[in-house]
Amino acid sequence: MEIIKPSTIAGVMELLPDEQKVLDEMKTTIEETFKDYGFSSIDTPVIEKNEVLFAKGGGETEKQIFEIASDSKDMSLRFDLTVPLARYVSEHFSELNFPFKRYQVGKVYRGERNQKGRYKEFYQADIDIIGHNELSIYNDALLARVIFEAFKKIDFPNVTFHINNRKLLNGFFKSLEIEDSTEVLRTIDKKDKIGLDKTKSLLNDIIGEEKSSKTIEFINADLSNSETLENLDGLANTDSYNKGLEELKTVYDYMVKFGVSDKNIKIDLSITRGLDYYTSTVYETFIDGYESIGSVCSGGRYENLASNFTKQKLPGVGMSIGLTRLFYQLKELGLIEDKKKSEVDIFILPMDSKFNFYAIDVLKRLKEEGKQADIYLEKGKFKKKLNYADKINANYVVIIGEDEVSKNEVSIKNMETGEQFNKSIDNLDFGN
Amino acid sequence: MEIIKPSTIAGVMELLPDEQKVLDEMKTTIEETFKDYGFSSIDTPVIEKNEVLFAKGGGETEKQIFEIASDSKDMSLRFDLTVPLARYVSEHFSELNFPFKRYQVGKVYRGERNQKGRYKEFYQADIDIIGHNELSIYNDALLARVIFEAFKKIDFPNVTFHINNRKLLNGFFKSLEIEDSTEVLRTIDKKDKIGLDKTKSLLNDIIGEEKSSKTIEFINADLSNSETLENLDGLANTDSYNKGLEELKTVYDYMVKFGVSDKNIKIDLSITRGLDYYTSTVYETFIDGYESIGSVCSGGRYENLASNFTKQKLPGVGMSIGLTRLFYQLKELGLIEDKKKSEVDIFILPMDSKFNFYAIDVLKRLKEEGKQADIYLEKGKFKKKLNYADKINANYVVIIGEDEVSKNEVSIKNMETGEQFNKSIDNLDFGN
C-alpha cells in the first residue's frame, strides 16, 4: 500500500496531549469565569453564508477568507465571532432577553501567510453584552472585571488594561480643527510599531507641526491615571470630548470599584483599536512584564452591533482573547512547561492478566469514590508496565501481584517520591 | 442601509441559550468521564489535506465533502474524527505512549441533503485506544464501561450495548461455504430497516434457501446472553469462528466484570457495522425504550488504524457518540425540556444607579464565596428589572434600595417560592 506522509495543512496549531491539556484547561477556566457572571454560551456554525460574512463589505478580510468550493460560491468559514454574533442576535432577536450577555469560544479561520505565530485556524474567546436601544456604560467596567478574573484564574494575575475613549479622541481632534481624523488615528495606532519619532514625523505631514505636537503631547503623557484625568479636564470643549471624558471617568471609577485596582489600569490615550467599529470605550490588555507580545485581550464599545441585519438598535460592548496566539506566545516564553500536569492520577497495574478481575474491582472502588483512575490491560514485563506509568505521568501506581491478592491488598507506589506501601482493598486511601 | 436577512446556512443546528446550555453540559460531562479514565484530549484542525482525508480512497464520502475553494483544491473539512486520528497518531508516533488513549469531541462536516435530523455540521464524541503492534481484547470491554458511565452521567442509565464479533460472523459464513460474505453482511446490516422477511428473501437470492435459513436462524435467535453463548459453542468450527467466539466471550465476561450488567448487554449476531473497517468486536448502543432512534454510540475494533500513513501496526478499538444527532432526537422526544436550568443563580438588582457601588460590593462578596452571580446595571422601572430576572431564570434576586442600604442589608427574593427576606451584607446566606 502506498504510504501518504501524514501532515496537517500549514499554519495550524496541533498539540501533543500534555500541552493540549494545558490549553484545554485555560479554555475551560475562561468559559467557567464567563458563566459565573451569567454569560450564556452560544455555538454558531463554522460555515456562514457569504452574504452574512460580507454584509459590511469585504475589504481586507475578504482576501483572507476560506471559501467553500461549490457552484454557487455562497459560503465560507467565519473569520471572527462578531459577525456571527450580529447575525445570531438579529435572527433570534425576539427570543433573547436584553441585555443579552453571551460568550463564545470557538475556532475562526483566516488565510494568513505562513509565518511563525500566525495561524490559519485559531481560537477566539469572546464576551459581549448587547443592549436593546441602550446599554449602560457601567457594563464596560463589568466586562473588564470578568476578563481580569479570567486572567487571574489562568495564573496571570498581573495584567494591565489600557483604556481609552473614541469620543474623547474625536472630540480632541475636532477641537484642533482636524476634520478627518481617520488618517491621524491610523498613524497613532501604529505608534508602538514604528516608534514615537516616526509617528510624529508622519503626523507632521498630515496635520502640520503645531497640531502634531499637541497630538503627541496628548497621547504620550506618561502620567498616573488621576493625573491624566485631571489633565484632560477642560483640555478641549466639544460635546464629543466632554461626553467621552465623562464616560472614560465612569469606566475608570467603576473598574476600580469592581476590583480592578488602579495599578492594573492605564488610561492610555494612544489606544485607538481600528477605525470604524468602536465608538466609545476601547481596551487593550497586556501581561505585565510581557508587554512585547502585544495585547492579549482587546475590544470596546460599539453603537450598533447589527445594522446590516436588523433595524433594531443594538449597542454593545465586547472583549476578545486570542487564545491560540496567547498560548503560542506563552509557550515561546517557556511559561507553559510547569503547567503540564499528570495525565492520570491513579494507574492500576496488574502484574499478570490473571489478576485482571481483581484489578477491575479495585478500579470500580476507586471510581465509586470519584477518582481519576486508569487500568493497564496489556501483556508484558513488569518493567515495561511501570515505564508506561511513568511516561504518562501517573501520580500513583497501584500494583497487583500474587502477594497482594493473597492478602486482599494492593501495593501503592507514589511515583514522585518513590515510596511504596501496602493497603487493604477495603481502605484505599493514598496517604502513607 | 440595505438589510440582509440574518440566517444560517441550511442543515446546521443552532440553539438558543437555554438549550445550548443543556448540550454544553452533556458535552462537558462526556469529556469529564473520558478524562477520568485517563483518555487524553486531542484537537486536530477542522481543515485537513485532501490527500489525508482521501488516503483510503474517496467513495461515497468524497461526494459529501466540503472542499475549500482554491487553485490547488487540496484541502477540505474533515468528515469524521477517525481519519484525523490516524493522521495524528502516525505523524506524532514517536512522541506518543502506547496504548494511546485519546478522546476528541469536535465538529465534523458532511454535505448531507437537507432533511430533518440530518446535519451538515455535527459534533462527534470519539474515544479510541490505540496499541502498537498489539492491544489486548480487554480494552473492548473497558471502552463499553466508559461509555456506559458517560451515558449514566448524562442521565441515560438505561442503555443496552449490542455486541458482536466480525471474526465469528466471517467464520460462520466460511463454515457454510459462503466465500464472499460481503453481500450477505450488507443485507444483514439492513435487517432493522427492511424487516426480517425481506432480509430472508434477499438472502435466498444470494446464497440459496438452505444457507439463508441457517443464517437467519443464526442472527435472529432471541435468547439470553448465556443461552446465545452456549448455542454458539461448536456451531461451526473454523479458526476464525473459534477465535471470534473466544473474543466475544471475553468481551462479554469483562463487560460484566467492569460493571456493565448482563441486562445492559445483548449479544446480537445481526450487528455488522459497515463492511471493511472493523475486524473483531463491533458495538451499537441503544437507549432502552427509545430503540427507534437507532444506535446512539457505535464502534468496534480494527486491526490497523493507519496503514495509509505509516508502516507501524496500530490496532485499536473505538466508539463514537453522534452528539448533535442524539441531542436532536432527545429534543424531538421532549427529553430536553426539564433539563433546561436557570441561567444564573443570583441576580443583583440595584433599584437605582445610585446604589450601584453598594451592589458591586455585594457582587464582590458573593464572588469571593465562589457564587455564580450577575448584576443588573441598566436604568428602568423596578418591574422591568424584576421581569428580566424572571426571564433569565434567576434563582434568587438580591434587591438593593434605599431601605436596604440604610440598614446595611439586602433583600433576597427566592424566585421559585416567591419568599422574600432581608439579610445583613455581612451574612449573605440564601437560606431563610
Query: Over the stretch A141-185, which tens digit does the pLDDT of each residue have?
Result: 999 999 999 999 999 999 999 999 999 999 999 999 998 788 898
Are A222 and A367 part of one and the same domain?
no
Flag if B41 and A20 touch (Cβ within 8 Å): yes
Residue A108 has pLDDT above 60, yes or no: yes
Cα dihedral A319→A325→A330→A334 (10° resolution) = 180
Are A414 and A269 part of one and the same domain?
no
Are A95 and A49 part of one and the same domain?
yes
Grade residue B326 by pLDDT with cuts at 50, 70 and 90. very high
Over residues B390-397, the mean pLDDT reads 93
A368 DSSP assignment: H
What average pLDDT is seen over chain B? 93
Per-residue pLDDT tens over the stretch B72-128:
889 999 999 999 999 999 999 999 999 999 999 999 999 877 788 789 999 999 999
Are A26 and A102 part of one and the same domain?
yes
Structural domains counted in chain A: 2
Q: How far is A277 from chain B (nearest CA, A)?
A: 16
Flag if A21 and B1 touch (Cβ within 8 Å): no
pLDDT at A432: 53
- Domain boundary among the residues B333, B363, B391 is at B333
pLDDT at B129: 97
Is B300 within 8 Å of B273 (Cβ atoms)? Answer: yes
Are A287 and A364 part of one and the same domain?
no
B375 contact residues in A (CB cutoff 8 A):
142
Are A319 and A239 part of one and the same domain?
yes
The domain that contains A355 carries what CATH number? Answer: 3.40.50.800
Q: Is residue B7 part of a domain?
A: no
Percent of chain B exceeding pLDDT 90 equals 83
Q: Is residue A431 part of a domain?
A: no
Are A43 and A100 part of one and the same domain?
yes
- In DSSP notation, A9-35 reads PTTB----HHHHHHHHHHHHHHHHHHH
- Domain boundary among the residues B312, B333, B354 is at B333
Grade residue A336 by pLDDT with cuts at 50, 70 and 90. confident
Predicted TM-score (pTM) of the model is 0.94
Q: Is residue A266 part of a domain?
A: yes
What residue numbers bound the domain in which A211 lies?
17-333
Q: Is residue A395 part of a domain?
A: yes
Are B323 and B366 part of one and the same domain?
no
Question: Binding site annotation covers A277?
Answer: yes
Are A309 and A374 part of one and the same domain?
no
pLDDT at B105: 98
**SS3 helix, strand, coil % of chain A, rounded to 5?**
40, 20, 40
A392 contact residues in B (CB cutoff 8 A):
38, 97
pLDDT at B220: 85
Q: Where are the beta strands (DSSP E) in A131-194?
A: 159-165
Over residues B164-193, the mean pLDDT reads 90
Grade residue B62 by pLDDT with cuts at 50, 70 and 90. confident
ipTM field: 0.94
The domain that contains B31 carries what CATH number? Answer: 3.30.930.10
Q: Establish whether the linkage from the previous residue to B315 is cis, with ω within 30° of 0.
A: no
Q: Is residue B338 part of a domain?
A: no
The crossing angle, in degrees rounded to 10, of helices B239-257 and A356-368 is: 40
Question: Binding site annotation covers B352?
Answer: no
Residue B233, all three cell numbers: 459453542
Percent of chain B exceeding pLDDT 70 equals 99
Residue type (1 letter), A102: R
Over residues B300-326, the mean pLDDT reads 96
Question: Binding site annotation covers A222?
Answer: no
| Lowest mean pLDDT, pick from A281-295, B171-185, B346-360 | B171-185
**CA B80 → CA A405, B83, B272, distances in Å?**
43, 7, 20
Are B219 and B104 part of one and the same domain?
yes
Are A218 and A358 part of one and the same domain?
no
A353 contact residues in B (CB cutoff 8 A):
136, 138
Flag if A43 and B21 touch (Cβ within 8 Å): no
Q: Is residue B10 part of a domain?
A: no
Residue B432 has pLDDT above 60, yes or no: no
Q: Is residue B432 part of a domain?
A: no
Per-residue pLDDT tens over the stretch B361-377:
999 999 999 999 999 99
Q: Where are the beta strands (DSSP E) in B42-157?
A: 47-49, 75-77, 100-109, 121-130
Are A325 and A364 part of one and the same domain?
no
- Domain boundary among the residues A333, A367, A387 is at A333
B370-381 burial, b if ≥16 CB within 10 A, otherwise e? eebbbbbbbeee
